[in-house]
Amino acid sequence: MRLRELWRTTPFQLTLMHGVVFAIAVMALMGLIYQQTAGYLARQIDAIVVSEARNLTLGGAEHLPERVTQAVATDSRHIEYYGLFSAEGIWISGNVHTLPPTLPIDGVPREIHAKNLQPGARALVKRTPWGEVLFVGHDALVLTGLRTIIVNALLLSGGLILVLDLAAAAVLSLRPLRRIDDLRAASRAALKGELGVRLPVSRRRDEIDMLAGVANAMMDETERLLWEVKSVGDNVAHDLRTPLNRLRARLYRVHQETKLEGVDRLMIDQALAETDEMLTRFRALQRIGEIERRDRQAFFEPVRLQSILEHVIELHAPLAEDRGVTLVADITANAPEVSADPTLLFEAVSNLVDNALKFTPNGGKVTVRLSVREGGPRVEVTDNGPGVPADEREAVLQRFYRAKRTRTEPGSGLGLSIVTAIARMHHFTLSLDDARPGLSVALDCWPRGIEG
Ligand SMILES: Nc1ncnc2c1ncn2[C@@H]1O[C@H](COP(=O)(O)OP(=O)(O)OP(=O)(O)O)[C@@H](O)[C@H]1O
Ligand SMILES: [Mg+2]
């Protein structure tokens, strides 16, 4: 996976491409050097062969066989070839006993391939003025040696370039890849609703930084707009509370001081109840805003979940009894402490128990459980009431949403939004599950980290 990512990075591919171009350039250069050197050496050998043949024939026909024999004898390195043949092609003297049939008798030196001769040797065949045929050759060990050297150098340098290039490409692409990882982690946090996160920008101001800068500017603007929207909501909630309170006080006075009867009284009572409902909603909305704005760490302290749960159960016991619901505690004693805001945690669990008691019919059972999971403690509130269908479990966490099945119960659909805000602020995970029958709401009380 990691390797595939490495391979796909621009620095890796660019470096690899440069490496290939470089290797081709090196090969071309070496080829050119070989070609030039080989040509030069061949010309030198040709000159030797031509002058040798000329020297031999210069002394005339007399003693030519002896001169040829002597030339063979003096060639201690065995790099020269001589052959003297009669006009009919019969061997007279020298270390070459048959005339190579491919060579024309024109005195021009050429490369020759024949057994008994070194590969690549160069030779000429010429006819002497008196009719005999003289063969003079010179081997080309230097040339074949040069070719071996060049081919070896090519293979070696090619391999070396390839290895070095791959290493360089890996090193060069690791760094940007690591930075992309950082960016990914930061963006994941942003996606989880952490409005304050920004992508890291390094001091190098390279193209990744430019992109991160643009993304950060966008995030700044998004955060600003979001706060604006939120503050409009909060302000509305705040500003309407005073006139609503005044309205409620008036209605209350009418209710207390007048002697209304029958339908009139009922209407006043209903108006009072509805005003109360509105006030509750505004209070809850303001509460969510408060939690979202709260400085995360300011009220954090080590919290014993056991005591919080016990407190919640104690407080809800009378209500449970009223509703004919059994409230059961299943609390492990060895749960570790968590770093949290105890007041908010209490509020969150209270909301969950509140829901469970509200939606579970008479005779039902609500269990408040504290268990220890691999990652840390888990608080679970389970009931055997109507539950929430799977396709509504996300929605009920949103403000004002109330599941279709249970809309007849009183409520404003803000309780779970408060729990969600509290969980998010702690980086805890809130999950809803089917309790078959009923609903089970779990709060995993360990910060999952931002990428989890
Ligand atoms: N234990 C539960 N059993 C069945 N449905 C539930 C349960 N808890 C929540 N729900 C569903 O989720 C919806 C949202 O819950 P939430 O607590 O946000 O609002 P509410 O309880 O209706 O009102 P509020 O809490 O603001 O008084 C509820 O209206 C209900 O439909
Ligand atoms: Mg509720």
pLDDT, tens digit, for every residue of 310-364? 999 999 999 999 999 999 999 998 899 999 999 999 999 999 999 999 999 999 9
**Residue 72 belongs to a domain:** yes
Query: Which of 293, 318, 341 is where one domain is finished?
Result: 293
Mean of pLDDT values over 400-408: 91
**Residue 370 belongs to a domain:** yes
**Residue 450 belongs to a domain:** no
Does 452 score more than 70 pLDDT?
no
Q: What pLDDT was estimated at residue 229? A: 86
Are both 24 and 49 inside the same structural domain? yes
Are both 307 and 437 inside the same structural domain? yes
> Which DSSP category does 361 fall into?
P
Are both 307 and 438 inside the same structural domain? yes
Of 331, 359, 365, which Cα lies nearest the Cα of 416?
359
Q: What pLDDT was estimated at residue 234? A: 80
Q: What pLDDT was estimated at residue 450? A: 42
| pLDDT tens digit sequence for 268-278 | 999 999 999 89
Query: Which of 293, 317, 340 is where one domain is finished?
Result: 293
Mean of pLDDT values over 102-123: 87
Q: What pLDDT was estimated at residue 176? A: 85
**What is the side-by-side strand order in the sheet with 377-383?**
326-331, 365-372, 377-383, 439-444, 429-434
Q: Among 416, 418, 430, which residue has the most ligand 1 atoms within 8 Å of its CB, making it the best to mutate?
A: 416
Are both 236 and 315 inside the same structural domain? no
The whole domain housing 272 covers 207-293
Compute and round to an integer the Cα radius of gyration of the chain.
Answer: 49
**Residue 198 belongs to a domain:** no
Query: Which of 262, 293, 324 is where one domain is finished?
Result: 293
More confident residue, 4 or 31: 31
Q: pTM for this one?
A: 0.61
Q: Whose CA is nearest to atom 12 of ligand 1?
A: 396
The rounded percent of the chain whose pLDDT value lies above 90 is 59
Q: Between vectors from CA 353 to CA 349 and to CA 355, what angle results, nearest 5°?
A: 115
Which residue is it, tokens 């309170």?
245
Return the SS3 of 227: helix
Which CATH number fits the domain that encloses residue 249?
1.10.287
Q: What pLDDT was estimated at residue 451? A: 39
What is the number of structural domains in the chain?
3
Does 37 score more than 50 pLDDT?
yes
Does 448 score more than 80 pLDDT?
no
Which CATH number fits the domain that encloses residue 17?
3.30.450
Are both 307 and 411 inside the same structural domain? yes
**The residue type at 106:** D
Does 4 score more than 90 pLDDT?
no
Q: Among 380, 396, 407, 439, which residue has the most ligand 1 atoms within 8 Å of its CB, making it the best to mutate?
A: 396
**Residue 374 belongs to a domain:** yes
Are both 6 and 135 inside the same structural domain? yes
CA distance 275 to 447: 39
**Residue 258 belongs to a domain:** yes
353 C-beta closer than 6 A to ligand 1: no
Are both 240 and 322 inside the same structural domain? no
Are both 307 and 238 inside the same structural domain? no
**Residue 44 belongs to a domain:** yes
What count of residues does the chain have? 452
Are both 288 and 326 inside the same structural domain? no
- Alpha helix ranges (H) inside 192-206: none
The answer to whether 199 touches 187, Cβ cutoff 8 Å, is: yes
Retrieve residue 115's tokens: 């057994």
Q: Whose CA is nearest to atom 9 of ligand 1?
A: 355
